[in-house]
Structure 1
């Protein structure tokens, strides 16, 4: 006798703490996004800037300097979503630039679009600030213990002056201890 195996699939709370292993996970992503957005929005210089205007930002590549495969775009998207929803910033979508350029070329170059309804050229806004950062890690271990330290750093650069306007970091440490039975 063989008995059949069954699997049960259930929805879970996406904000619940996940502790499946010590690799980078959804809880880490959520903690990083929340910390960075709260820090940026409450920084005095940024508060002063955003009371006078809604600055235009673009997000440069956030680099993964860990040994793990981590979806950095997902972290970046969470940060941008939270900042955009704050109503204090406007964002340029760097990833869509080529598609926008092609569409404008189509509207103005092929004779296929009514010139009266074509999107005007040379009217896009330039970014005033750039956000970029890094995620790094240090992993140490022995036979029974493994420790991973993550550090996420994010920066806001004023593109006109090149000055670093804001910077913060979020640190996360995870460890696991293995027990050996039967010895």
Structure 2
């Protein structure tokens, strides 16, 4: 799709690319990006599904959105994604994937119905002790010195980061701040 004044192209079927029937695609990893690429190859490039190969090194597919119940520690999900109403590409993709339960409907339909039937919201951004409000009041809790430590890391070229630990950049103030709690919980 190329840039235009609207997204009407999302509703048009692209012409089948020349030679696509003689090609295969190999996608590394089974996370959101690879699964999306596979869907777009089938839908937009009209590549046969059996020509799309997804390679995964882990025993569980899903990349950072996997979920699994480990007997020794419980249910673990390495990452999660918020489905905001401005994710046009995702909604476009979901509208073209048929529901597993009803082929007359799409994943987008199911997602829409679920959100209408069971709306959710949060009164706080961070919790501790299994659901108690962490009382961050939406603040990072950083002094100017701590903010400069973060900026120093951000502005460092890659070459200066090799063989470094996070404690080489941040002292306890940053590591005990609301900012760091947000960072480590949001990015696993």
TM norm. shorter chain > 0.5: no
Indicate the TM-score class for this superposition, using the shorter chain for normalisation.
Answer: under 0.3
Greater helix share, 1 or 2? 2
Per the normalisation by structure 1, the TM-score is: 0.19
| TM-score of the two chains, using structure 2 as the length reference | 0.19
- Using CA pairs below 8 Å that are at least 6 residues apart, which structure has the higher relative contact order? 1
